[in-house]
Amino acid sequence: MKVPIFNRKRSRVWWMLPLAVVALFLFGSTVAFSESGGGHGEAVPKGWVKTDTYRVMNFAVLAIGLFLVLKKPVSQALGGRIQGIKEQLDELEEKKKAAEAKLVEYDAKMAALDKEAEAMLAEYVKQGEDAKARILKEAEAAAEKLKEQASKNIEYEFLQAKAELKAEIVEKALAKAEAIIKEKINSEDQDKLVDEYLEKVVA
Amino acid sequence: MQAAAEEEKEIIGKINESAQAELKEVKEKIVQEMGTVKATLEEEIDAFADAIGQKILGRVA
């Protein structure tokens, strides 16, 4: 940041200012002192005296001299200061605009981040829903397999029980038939059976 | 994902439990019906035996 009051040119003016003030003060004081008679052994006058007029004139000369001497450097210094402040204000305005632009940029980035976060969240939710649907489908398939297996088990149990029952009844019927045949068979039946057997063997 | 896996386990467990219960019930029903059928068939064993004897001997035993 450039501050004109600290320039070399300006600092030269500021060096000259105190010198000019001191010179004018000394000149004015000398004149006033000579006009007042040196101030040795005289009584202090009352009211407006001639020396007061000289003093006023002295002050006026001093003020005019100071005004003339200081007018240009002071105006330059103040102008420089004003210019510096203007430049500072311009610079601050530019910084403010840059900061506002950055703010707008970051707002846009934040909005984009929010959108991105929402999109990611939606994607994760969708993936979760898909996974859930897939898992539930697999569970239904597994359940269906279980049902099929249970149905097969039931069918197997039924067939096995049926076969066992059939075998048991046949065994019992055969035993009873054997007993009946043993009881009621005669020699004619035996001959007939032998003949039938031989016919089958020959055939 | 974990919730879905737990739900899957729960569903399979429920269906498995239901299938086991159904299997047990059907087994009991089969045993019961087999008992009835067995009783009926045992009543007819004499007839079966007579039929076998008749077939073997070629006459009413």
Three state DSSP letters for A48-101 = CCHHHHHHHHHHHHHHHHHHHHHHHHHHHHHHHHHHHHHHHHHHHHHHHHHHHH
pTM as predicted: 0.47
Given a cut of 90, is residue A167 above it in pLDDT?
yes
* Contact: A135, B53; criterion CB under 8 Å: no
- Mean of pLDDT values over B52-60: 79
Distance, CA of A64 to CA of A60 (rounded, Å) = 6
pLDDT of residue A26: 64
* Contact: A177, B8; criterion CB under 8 Å: no
- Mean of pLDDT values over A36-57: 72
Given a cut of 70, is residue A7 above it in pLDDT?
no
* Contact: A176, B12; criterion CB under 8 Å: no
**Nearest CB to A165; choose among B15, B38, B52:** B38
Chain A CB within 8 Å of residue B50 CB: yes
* Contact: A136, B31; criterion CB under 8 Å: no
pLDDT of residue A23: 65
Distance, CA of A71 to CA of A83 (rounded, Å) = 17
pLDDT tens per residue, range A89-127: 999 999 999 999 999 999 999 999 999 999 999 999 998
Contacts of B60 (CB under 8 A, 6+ apart): B50, B54
Whole-number CA gyration radius for chain B: 25
The per-residue pLDDT of chain A, averaged, comes to 82
Confidence of residue A84 (pLDDT cuts 50, 70, 90): very high
Which residues in chain B are closer than 8 Å to A124, comparing Cβ atoms?
none
